[in-house]
Structure 1
Amino acid sequence: MRTELPTERLQRRLGTETKPDASDGQPAGDGDRPDTLLSRWLPDTQADGGAGWMAAVRADPGRAGVVALAAVGVIAVLVTVFTIVRDKPPPVTSANLPPVQMVSSGSPTPSGPPAPDTPVVVSVVGLVHKPGLVTLDPGARIADAVGAAGGALDGADLLGLNMARRVADGEQIIVGIAPVPGEPAAMGSSITADTADTGSTASSAPAEGATAPGAVVDLNTATVEQLDTLPGIGPVTASAIVAWRDANGRFSSVEQLGDVDGIGPARLEKLRDLVRV
């Protein structure tokens, strides 16, 4: 026995179940269609065939339909354009970057003057307790340099120095002898700047008041500059000779140079033929 499929069962029920009526038991005529459930669900035009169903479909929308379709199309275009314009990303602006600076790869330039925080070194000589080199803080003044050298001795010429002036690195401060009325002018105080960094060369001519090389120097009238020209005699020893002369009077003999600090027997022998009294 063959098993009935579900589709066959549905078709059988829709096609064979008929509505009972008064003509039950009589065959239907050719013009009558069976009163089935399928025929009751479909309209007459569809039940009669495809021609009736096609006739029921209206292909012409009419004037009102055309206007409505055109309006819908215009609205769709406007919505699309608005969406594209609104979602357009903003223009990207370039950042304001600083200009690129050229960096030289060559050798560094020579260093200039000392940095503001670098200590300065000056030479303080003459009538001070501790002549020599002193190291000072930046911005130090002449008064600080003299104080760092132990202070000035009695009879030192401080009026010739501007104690408020700032010192520069490499300077030499000479504390001379105060002038005495009625006596030859001795060497006063002065400041000698360091000219080694400027590239200038010293003049071969003797300075004003200095003794020419080879000349005999008078110990009783010579200034510190003149005594400084003697071999082995520097500014400190020259100032000491003048200080001894002021403290003890005139030199009576050349041998008295041995009493001056810094002059020993060997140096005295070198100076014997170069000085006189």
Structure 2
Amino acid sequence: MAPPAAIALVVVGVLACVVTVYTVVSGSSDDVPTVVAFPSSAGAAAPSGRTTAGDAAQNPSRTARSSPTDAPTAGGAAMVVSVVGLVRTPGLVHLSTTARIADAIAAAGGGRPGADLLSLNMAQPVRDGDQILVGFADPSGGTRLRSAVVSGGGASSPATPGDRSPTATAGTAPSVGAGSGASGSAGTVDLNTADEAALDTLPGVGPVTAASIIEWRTRNGRFTSVDQLAEVDGIGPGRLAKLRDRVTVGAG
């Protein structure tokens, strides 16, 4: 019979082998899913329509493309409006379909000194084909040419109730005798006393030129000669020749 010491050594050796085999087997089974699962979880795609934080850091252009700044801007197609009278750059301006009178005036460079802007409703929407006439406001309270908006259909829309449109109604002509300053002799108009309605009856003189005549008179005093009309904005030699027989400077 083997001594007890030898039996004990054999038992210890067997137990050591069992423990070693168990450790190796269990360790191998744990490592395999760890190694396989790690790249699988790192490379997993996010749900459709969402971007993970890692994706955003590695591919910032993906999130930039979804920015709301790339959405189409509202406003619609542009429209064309005519702005004339006492503005710095009169003419046609292109505006959005949501534009107001204030936008049209600003697009024309703003009003010139003496412009009648108080008669205009700056919040009023404008329409394609409208004409905005910026008139003249005499700071001393004298004769003035009120501003107005003429629609594309030809109807004049004064800015405030009671304002008189600077243009005549379609199909009618203003009476020379109705305006103050008409001399009544051979249909001539006194440049020193005529209001905008009387001046508007002269050949080649519309609301804008009438406003310029009144502006010149306010700044320089009385006309002493018909030739001084050449100093008025919008009156050249040809227009002056047509006006010579139709105007007078009255008794000085």
Provide closer, same or farther for how the CA distance between residues 171 and 223 of structure 1 changes in structure 2, counting only shifts above 3 A.
farther
Structure 1 CA distance, aligned partners of 2:95 and 2:197?
A: 27
Out of 110, 118, 122, the position equivalent to 2:77 is 118
1:202 aligned residue (165, 170, 185): 170
Residue 182 of structure 1: how far off its partner (Å): 5.2
C-alpha displacement of 1:180: 3.4
One-letter amino acid of the counterpart of residue 172, structure 1? Q
Matches of 1:162 and 1:266 in 2, distance apart? 37
How far the C-alpha of 1:204 sits from its partner, in A, is 2.9
- Indicate yes or no: 2:195 matched with 1:226: no
The residue aligned with 2:148 is: 190
Superposition deviation, residue 165 in structure 1: 0.7
Aligned residue for 1:246, secondary structure, equals: helix
How far 1:255 moved relative to its partner? 0.8
Q: How far does the alpha carbon of each residue in 1:89-128 deviate from its partner, in whole angstroms, 9 at most, with x for none? A: xxxxxxxxxxxxxxxxxxxxxxxxxxx8232222211111
Secondary structure, in 3 states, of the residue corresponding to 1:128?
coil
Give the counterpart of 2:112 among 130, 137, 153: 153
Counterpart of 2:57 in structure 1 is none
Aligned residue type for 1:139: T
Structure 1 gaps of 5+ residues are 1-115
Partner of 1:256: 228
Residue 245 of structure 1 aligns to a residue whose secondary structure is helix
Q: How many angstroms apart in 2 are the aligned matches of 1:223 and 1:121?
A: 31
Query: How far is 1:209 from its partner?
Result: 4.6
Deviation, structure 1 residue 222: 2.6
Q: Deviations over 1:171-220 (max 9, x none)?
A: 2111112243453x3112111222259xxx923353775989x8322222
Q: Partner amino acid for 2:170?
A: A
Q: Deviations over 1:212-271 (max 9, x none)?
A: 9x8322222333343232222233322222222222122121110011122122221110
Which aligned segments of 4 or more residues in structure 1 are displaced greater than 4 angstroms?
A: 207-212
Identity %: 57
TM-score using structure 2 length: 0.55
Q: Are the counterparts in 1 of residues 135 and 208 from structure 2 also a CA contact under 8 Å? A: no
RMSD: 2.7
> Of 118, 125, 141, which residue of structure 2 is paired with 1:166?
125
Gaps of 5+ in 2: 1-74, 156-168
Distance change >3 Å, CA 167–CA 225, structure 1 → 2: farther
CA contact (8 A) 1:125 1:235 kept: no
Provide the rounded CA distance (Å) in 2 between the counterparts of 1:240 and 1:205.
21
Q: Given that residues 179 and 194 in structure 2 are in contact (C-alpha distance below 8 angstroms), is that contact kept between their aligned partners in structure 1?
A: no
Tell me: CA distance 1:266–1:162, structure 2 relative to 1, closer, same or farther (3 Å). Answer: same
TM-aligned CA distance change 1:227 to 1:123, over 3 Å: farther
Secondary structure in structure 2 of the residue aligned to 1:262: coil
Alignment partner, residue 33 of structure 1: none
Across the two proteins, how many residue pairs are aligned to each other?
Answer: 157
Aligned mates of 1:256, 1:134 — CA distance in 2: 32
Q: Is contact 2:101–2:121 with CA below 8 Å preserved after alignment?
A: yes
Q: What is the aligned partner in structure 2 of residue 82 from structure 1?
A: none
Distance 1:174 1:218 in 2: 24
Residue 191 and residue 226 in structure 1: after superposition, are their counterparts in 2 closer, same or farther (change >3 A)? farther
Provide the C-alpha distance between the structure 1 equivalents of 2:231 and 2:125, rounded to a whole number of angstroms.
36
Q: Residues 223 and 154 of structure 1: is their aligned pair in 2 closer, same or farther, counting only changes over 3 Å?
A: same
Letter in 2 for 1:131: P
- Asked if 1 retains the 8 angstrom alpha-carbon contact of 2:174 and 2:201, the reply is no
Letter in 2 for 1:268: L
- Match of 1:52? none
